[in-house]
Structure 1
Amino acid sequence: MKRFIWLAALLAATGAATGAAAAVRPPAVGARVAPDSIGIGDRFCLSIEVEKDQVQTVVFPEFSGDGSDGIELVESLPVDTLERRGRLVRLRKRYVLAAFEEGDFALGRARVLYADKNVVDTLRSDDSLFLHVATFAIDSASRSIYDVKPQKHLPFRLAEIRGYLVWGAAALVLLAAVAWVVLRLLSRSGRSVRTLFRPAPPVPPHVAAIRALEALHHRKLWQNNQHKLYYSGLSDIVRTYIAARFGIGAMEMTSDEILTLLRRGELVPPKSATDLAEVLRDADLVKFAKAVPDGERNEADYLKIYYFVEETKRVAEEDAGDPEIDGNHA
């Protein structure tokens, strides 16, 4: 009985050791070249197969394929799964290569990087790979080598461009018809061809200023605590308007210089000059003294600039103004 128990324990220990060895057995690597004999410039396939445990990790090699060693990589195919047996998996990686030099190439043994837990190793195939590249023989004694023949010039035939002529004539007829229709429509409306290419009239200064003011109002800058940006916009709009309306360099002048010039020349009504002075003063306080006006002051300054533009615009420009800007500013 004791002998039987000892034999069973020995068999169990042997089985456990065998199982542990199988669990850590490294993957098996095999490789082959098909075909192993080719003509120069032909392609061949290098296949690398690995049989491994599903928990093990392998990395197949990458070829530079620059042709410096006479062999060039044409295509690297994805890894295929050939077989699964329990925990074992058989993988295959194929490379399509081409050889451009004559001779015998010793490709060596295929290498695969292997990683399993704390083990990192390079595995190689059992057999070395060889490739024979042959070239064609030229019998210069019985055959002569000639240069490339020059291009042969064939006589010109009208049929070769008949289609282009037909479609070109059709396009010309269509363009003539379109031109005739356009001229008829212009003559009925009392206009001429020159009106189609006449540039648009310039936008009057007060129209451009009102549009800019409305765009600034829709941005809601002071409502988001961007007072400096808001007053910079007001100041730039009114300075641009004054420069275009009165022909003075308001963009390069200080606020006092602008007001002095407008009042001295009596270019604007006294009330408009006073409103402009208040807005420019508030703008300078916000930009240079970091003042923060309240909402009522911000809206009041906007309206002062709006009515300043309306009260100082040219009377002759009213007809050329934008019909949509007729008192709409809020």
Structure 2
Amino acid sequence: MKRLFLALAPLLAWGAAAAQEVPKVSAHVEPDSILIGDRFDLVIDVEKDLVQVVEFPEFEDREGKIEIVESLPVDTLERDGRQLKLRKRYRLAAFDEGRYNLGTASVLYADKNIIDTLTTRDSLYLEVTTFQIDSTSQSIYDLKGQRTLPFRLAEIRTYLLWGAVALLLLAAGLYALVRWLRSRGKRLGDLFKPAPPLPPHVAAIRALEALHNQKLWQNNRHKQYYSGLTDILRTYIAARWGIGAMEMTSDEIIAAMRPVELPDKARMDLTAILRDGDLVKFAKATPPAEENEADYLKAYYFVEETKLAEESTPTEGPDTMDN
């Protein structure tokens, strides 16, 4: 029995791989008949396996006849085990009468060593109509000339009175403000001086807390979450050590930080956050909740452990993230 299983194992593995179907693509237009200038939606649905990667196309305007108004984000309609159903919606507008053949909808498909373009079977059509005017029942008249009425001061008297009152109140308020500033040894120009820039670590901590309060990954917006997390660290590194991290890749940042004296844990945490961010942004990975929370804490303590000693100020610990 054991020998038979070993002999059949390659065939079973091949059969499991072959059983995985390519994503199914469908599309439709909502509605399929509109008036000139009205908006309609081009909807593309994709049913795929969890590990398969698809990329939706960019809609191009068609010679001023059909223009894109809004490209809505991809939405997950349902999830059944490993099967996902995604929907991409384009909001368009048509500005010329006629029947349009929008062609077939297509998506880019990638799975292991396979890169292919998947298209729908049938073309999409849109009917654009205009208003029908019955000239037999409606009379058409020429435009009437514009009438010019004489100007009267009474028409703006109320506005002049209220304007004078507003100016008097403004002058009185400005006079009171100047006297109050002089009593404290200040000048009016001191109110318009820009505030001194925040220390790099203070700006980074505030940005991290603001990112945490947005609850991005809790709402399946992992790419936006990791983009914000890595951008905050890049900005902090640029301000703290003068390294052009905003224009560097993750590998370039890691290489540029090697000569910098850092605690071993801080260096490992920075590398882990940058690597996780690349996986989410470019490989469409979806980390578990524990990893999202851990990366936030790593970023927080990286800033705390590497800030300048003279910048040290009492700060509260990072907020506990909701799973």
> What range is the shorter-chain TM-score in?
0.3 to 0.5
Greater C-alpha Rg: 1
